[in-house]
Chain A
Amino acid sequence: MKLLGIVLVIFSTSSLGYLFALKYKMRRWILKSMISSLNLFKIEITYSKAPLGEILMAISRSSDKSIKFVFSKTGMILSQNEGYTAGEAWEIALNEWDNGYLKKEDVEILRSFGYGLGNSDVYNQEKNFDLAIELLKRQLSNAEEESKKNEKLYKNIGVLAGLAIIILFL
């Protein structure tokens, strides 16, 4: 009986720790996926010069499911021809996107990227992409540092807290 209690306590506290740590991992993952999708996006615009709506749909198909929504939603809004520009559609998609793992700055980078989306020539589109990708990369290395520090910390705290409770109650 006592043993079962010990196991339960340790299990619950350490999973709490993992949950906190997961937040860091997910942010890293989303940023990484976003960077690679934007890279693909950039190539499509500069090389194939296909219409934006088509590109967005193609990108959403090849994107990780954590970020798929932004591209597919933007593409969908554009395809409905309701008079939204790409920038506006992107903004709507971002607002509807469930991105609890990202920090506010990360989303702001994507938001300002949207303002320049599709409204200039290839050269300036490329610059807009490069800027966003560069900034996201910086966020990513920040995120990596943070997670290096905190991920382990939270996991350890979880386990240790469990142990502490057990020692206290024994």
Chain B
Amino acid sequence: MFNGSGTLSRSLAVLVALFILIPMLLVAVMSFGQGSSLRFPPQAYTLESYAAYFKSRSWTIPTLNSFVIGALSAILALAVTTPAAFAFTLYDFRGKRLIRLLVMMPLMVPFIVMALAYFFFFGQIGLLNTMAGVIIAHACLAIPIVFLIQSASLKGFDWTLVRASQACGAGAFTTFRRICLPILRPSFLVAGLFAFISSFDETVVALFISGRAASTLPRRMFESVRQESDPIVAVVSTLLFGAVAAVALVVALRQRRAARPANR
């Protein structure tokens, strides 16, 4: 039915892709430019900004911070959400709907409101400008998405397997470790990856509460653009873009492999 408009829809898709990609490509081109400020088009092409990025502690430390905060907040979010997702899937209890609403709250409250709340609250309990503070805040922000992904995978889980495992002689903990976890692991990893990305990408809350000591990469980039117009920002953007593209490629390839029928 859409055969006749094949060319049209394909050109439209290419246009949209270009519209999204061109700003990224501009930044990528600028990252190879010479000089101490951002300019397009660059007068000459070098890798000196890349060298500067990897040499500058004011950039590598926020990068490392972002990785640590992303990883630990993802682990924290998974640790909190996994029991909750199991409980919501398996049991009916009083106040279930209200508690589900509370779990999903970070998705609905504007980030700026959350950021202000963390700013005042963490200030009072001494978590302001600390890694721990940012990790806790980012874990909270990631809870809804992690909870949604885990709930979906638990809903598709065949609970007879738990009974089968028990009938084989396994207690609750062994059943979880040897049956539930291996089957659910891929989707739990995806949930963790989403938590990591949401933390890595998060700027507003980080601006308010991360301070100098726990400065994240997005915060550092924001400061750089405002104060220095440093070409290293373009380097970081290009590296991030490359990393995301690589991850997307790996995921796409794995999905294609999974979609192929199993070899007999």
Q: A and B: partners?
A: no
